[in-house]
Structure 1
Amino acid sequence: MREIEKLDAGLEYDVTDPEVDARKLRAIELCAALNAIPVPDTAARDEAIRALLGSCGEGVALLPTIRCDHGAHIHVGDDVWIGGNATILPGVTIGSNVVVAAGAVVTRDVPDSALVGGVPAKALRELEDDVERG
């Protein structure tokens, strides 16, 4: 099994493998590009967020400076706000109607309607899902 396949399967893998390294470098470059886009330029930021993440719902805001490991493994639902200086590690799914506090380090899945924060991030409280969807 190739190291990149081990990574994708959630197994231990060699971080020095060229394929693994290439994926990590791509995520670093995409994070840098996203962080350079002015926050008011929501269309460009949305495009950059979608290039970085494995999947992304509607109404997602990632404030600068965002850092992540292997962005393709991160999946984000609808109506998510991620504060500045947050770090998201691979294999993470963030549900809908979520707030990730500034400076948080997300190391595991986040359920719907949650406020999370800290290092590592943990649930701080449940949020009311009061967003009207079409």
Structure 2
Amino acid sequence: MRSELDKLEAGDWYCFSDAEVAARKARAAKLCQEFNAIPATEPKKQTTKIQEIFGSYGDNLSVQANFNCDYGKNIHVGQNFLSNYNLTILDMAPVKIGNNVMIGPNCGIYTVNHPMNPAGRRQYLAQAQPVTIGNDVWFGGSVTVLPGVTIGNNVVIAAGAVVTKDVPDNTLVAGVPAKAIRKLTQN
């Protein structure tokens, strides 16, 4: 019989109240609490702690408090990553973020979804799908990215957008749900 962690990692429905899944989340919550307690006047300590949380990271990593995640080790960011205040990444599935990405305040990147039917929700079921974000991407404030979404290179997500579908390279998207507004130049 497969464990709930095995189901989670395979992208199948899993029980999020399972002890192993809960332990993974509890570890992340503890590390995020420690990160968020570090004063903004100590950016080197903040960087050291966020490096402990993330699975991998490039040079020039800057994450502002408050930061919260579900696991941490599934977060992989490239060079020159910058996030503003109050970023939440629910990373039960991998979240891969490219180089030169800036994320505005109050954003959320979610890999976890729950059943549409009440019976499944009563069983504490969840399903995780990866999120991929390309290079040279900018999120305005309060952007939400939903499970399974891939965002291309040179993309701007306007403030308040809810990204429910893949976004092609060189695109400005806005709205709820986010829709393409226009193409962007690469310069």
Structure 2-normalised TM-score? Answer: 0.63
Which amino acid in structure 2 is aligned with residue 95 of structure 1? Answer: G
Task: Determine the structure 2 residue equivalent to 1:120.
Answer: 144
1:24 aligned onto 2:37: no
Aligned residue number for residue 132 of structure 1? none
What's the offset of the Cα at 1:128?
7.2
1:1-134 mapped onto 2 (5 Å cutoff):
1-90=2-91, 91-107=94-110, 108-117=131-140, 118-121=142-145, 123-124=156-157, 125=172
Per residue, is there more strand in 1 or in 2? 2
Structure 1 moving runs of 4+ over 3 Å: 125-129
Task: Tell me the SS of whatever aligns to 2:5.
Answer: helix
Aligned with 2:102: secondary structure?
strand
1:73 to partner: Cα distance:
1.0
Displacement, 1:127? 9.8
Cα separation, partners in 2 of 1:113 and 1:127, compared to 1, 3 Å: farther
**Which ranges of structure 2 fall in alignment gaps of 5 or more residues?**
111-130, 146-150, 158-171, 173-183
How far the C-alpha of 1:10 sits from its partner, in A, is 2.6
Structure 1: how far apart are the matches of 2:80 and 2:186? 12
Name the count of aligned residue pairs: 129
Identical counterparts, % of pairs? 33
Considering fraction of residues, name the structure with more helix: 1
Name stretches of at least 5 consecutive residues in structure 1 with no aligned partner. 130-134
Q: Distance in 1 between matches of 2:11 and 2:44?
A: 33
CA deviation vs aligned residue, 1:5-64 (integer Å, no higher than 9, x gap): 222233221101111000001111111111111223222112211111111111111101
Between stretches 13-22 and 87-96, larger displacement belongs to 87-96
Q: TM-score, normalised by structure 1?
A: 0.85
